[in-house]
Chains A and B, each alone.
Chain A
Amino acid sequence: KAGVTQTPRYLIKTRGQQVTLSCSPISGHRSVSWYQQTPGQGLQFLFEYFSETQRNKGNFPGRFSGRQFSNSRSEMNVSTLELGDSALYLCASSLGLARFNEQFFGPGTRLTVL
């Protein structure tokens, strides 16, 4: 069974641009959560999508948004990029909503903002 895949793996953008990251969950998993990982702040929860609806949200500004498609694939968008948005963005999938103890993480997308 294929694991969680994230594309692209690496991305370089400049301040003010926007970016879209993609996550394909494990087959059959309906929940996708997104996390930001930085050396300073560690791992922080962004949001969780289940059945195409955002169900939980962390404390991030509105520039961070996401969506989920009917096949459970999810995208995350960051608009008006800032230097501080440079981070590893991880997504994780699970069978059900808020099943954090059953999540499987992808390898992440490394975003660098110049």
Chain B
Amino acid sequence: GQQLNQSPQSMFIQEGEDVSMNCTSSSIFNTWLWYKQDPGEGPVLLIALYKAGELTSNGRLTAQFGITRKDSFLNISASIPSDVGIYFCAGLTQGGSEKLVFGKGTKLTVNP
């Protein structure tokens, strides 16, 4: 089945640093979504991308839909302690019965 490879698996950074994470797949997706999950909560949608090459920002977060439609990137600028959590990418399959396929997440730790 379709799989998403998300990296890195975890990151330990200092407050104020920028963060980058990415997802790649051997399959083409027509939508990419980025979520954040806090402990004891469900994922919350951060950014949705709909077109190859699309670059979208949400505050300090910026995400891009790869030109090949097989990858996506999320950047967080000037990290703060509340950025701590697990970030997931998800791709929406094309055609027929649509399903979301998730990456395994990037666990972000921010040291104040």
Contacts and interface: CB of A to CB of B under 8 A. Distances in A.
A4 to B, nearest CB: 7
Interface residues of B, number: 22
Contacts of A55: 97
B45 interface: yes
B42 A101 contact: no
Interface in B26-81: 31, 33, 40-45, 48
Interface of B: 1, 31, 33, 40-45, 48, 88, 90, 92, 97-105
Contacts of A59: 1
A14 B18 CA distance: 45
Contacts, number: 49
Contacts of B40: 107
Nearest to A40: B104
A108 interface: yes
Interface residues of A, number: 22
B101 to A, nearest CB: 8
A21 interface: no
Given A42-B102, A56-B98, A101-B45, 18 more contacts: A4-B42, A43-B43, A43-B88, A43-B102, A45-B99, A45-B100, A56-B97, A57-B97, A59-B1, A92-B42, A100-B33, A100-B90, A101-B31, A101-B33, A103-B45, A106-B42, A108-B41, A108-B42
